[in-house]
Amino acid sequence: MNLFQRFSFTALNLPTSAAGMPMFIFILPFYADDLGLGLSLVGIIFFFGRFTDILTDPVMGVLIDKFPSKWGKHKLWVFLSAPVFMLATYLIFLPTTDQPTSLYFFGALFLLYSAFTLSSITQLSWSSFLAPDYDDRTKLLTLRELMALLGMFSVILIPAIVEINDPSLKAKVNAIGLFVLLIIPLITINALRHVPDSTESSSSEKLTNPFKAFKSLFSNEMLNKIVFAAVLIAFCMSLNGALYLIWMEVVIELPQYSSRLMLAYYVVSVLGLSIWRYLGIKTSKHFAAGISCIYAIIILSMGFIGYWFVKDFADLPKLYAVGSFIVLFGFAFSGPLPLINAIVADVSDKLNLERGENISGTVFSYLTTFTKVGFALAAVLPYLVLEIFWGFDISIGTENSSSSKMAIFYIYTFVPIISYSIAAYLLFSHSLSREEHAKIKADLIN
């Protein structure tokens, strides 16, 4: 592929991240507070919305592997995702009522995550064809992550601009929705026109039960270690995102700076991506991903210690201190997941050699299915825990009890530290090297 084709392919991840990232940071508080559904109910709806979406991933993986279209193995599925994606974006970000029901929110979420499934699993499977080599795969999937970060950057920049004239959460959510609706068709059409696709014919084998296809992967220790690491990391990232606005308001007590600090967070994550990408090429993907987890643990620990020194500062010095923490933490954000995607592509090649069949779609749907469990749990667990055990009420902000405020602080800090620690161990123990993968690719060609 030339450079334009690489950008065209990886840009498919931009609208997905632009719509996905605000779910935790803006959409959940918007529906919980502004639209009156309540914190626990929104968390439960979000969990079940993601859980039902999880059930579609195995089906999608098998469909990609068994039913390539005349346009290629992947393009049809990307094309079909666009209209579903646009409808869901409209319903969620520009709600048709000021008092949406639980069913309305659940249905819109299901549509959105079904579109994500159609697009994201297809993109990851497609990447195995577009970048067959160990380091080229790292480069392509970290470029894809860069596009995700640009999408996140855009939807953080939009609220930061909007809040100058209208600080309401509704104005921010509406503006993000309009941006996503504009870019979905433009980016999708460009990729379908310019990116090459696999022309392999449909499999002659009978369509298998997708859940039985998953069962065959349960015993693969190498794959499962990486998938479990991905679940833990997804849980960490999502938990921090789900609690961020609440943490800024009731713990840090600087809610007026939340969007701008978040913008800084995603700016430095772009710089961090280049660091983890370079380290992955110079050493190995699993080592670089593990180091990024260790880095996150160090920064979270520094943030925990630093809080006790700055919590009683005036707003300006506290802002400098918290801003420094957020900037440093931002370097960790873009590290592990794109490298894990590249690792899973390598494991998929190993399975291809062992089984004599390309099942990249199934393997990536296996990864995304369990990763979504991490995302879903991060939405429901902290909200339920805070309301049930500490009586936290999102509507009264800083008037909540000091114990509930400290609960937010401890959950925000120590749950990710524990999860990142386990993920780092799993990544460091991965055994598929660059040299072994080169031999696998040579055997596949022969």
Rounded CA separation 180/430 (Å): 37
Instruction: Tell me the per-residue pLDDT of 337-384, one tens digit each, with 9 for 90 and over.
Output: 899 999 999 999 999 888 888 788 888 888 988 888 888 788 778 888
Q: What is the mean pLDDT of residues 282-308?
A: 96
Report the Cα 174 to chain-centroid distance in Å: 21
Describe the crossing of helices 134-165 and 434-445 by its angle, rounded to 10 degrees: 110
69 strand-pairing partners: 72
Instruction: Tell me the per-residue pLDDT of 177-221, one tens digit each, with 9 for 90 and over.
Output: 999 999 999 999 999 999 998 766 544 455 556 667 677 888 899
Rounded CA separation 300/410 (Å): 11
| Residue 352 DSSP SS3 | helix
Task: Give residue limits of the domains in the chain.
Answer: 3-199+214-445
Give the Cβ contact number of residue 72 at 10 Å: 19
Higher pLDDT, 440 or 51: 440
Q: What is the mean pLDDT of residues 314-327?
A: 94
Confidence (pTM): 0.79
Per-residue pLDDT at 206: 53
Rounded CA separation 136/241 (Å): 31
Indicate if the pLDDT at residue 326 is higher than 60.
Answer: yes
Is residue 30 within 8 Å of residue 12, measured between CB atoms? no
> Which CATH code for domain 3-199+214-445?
1.20.1250.20
Between CA 116 and CA 230, with CA 276 as vertex, the angle to 5 degrees is: 45
Give helix then strand counts, H and E, for the chain: 18, 0
Least confident of 102-111, 212-221, 323-332: 212-221
Phi, psi angle pair for 72, to nearest 5°: 135, 175
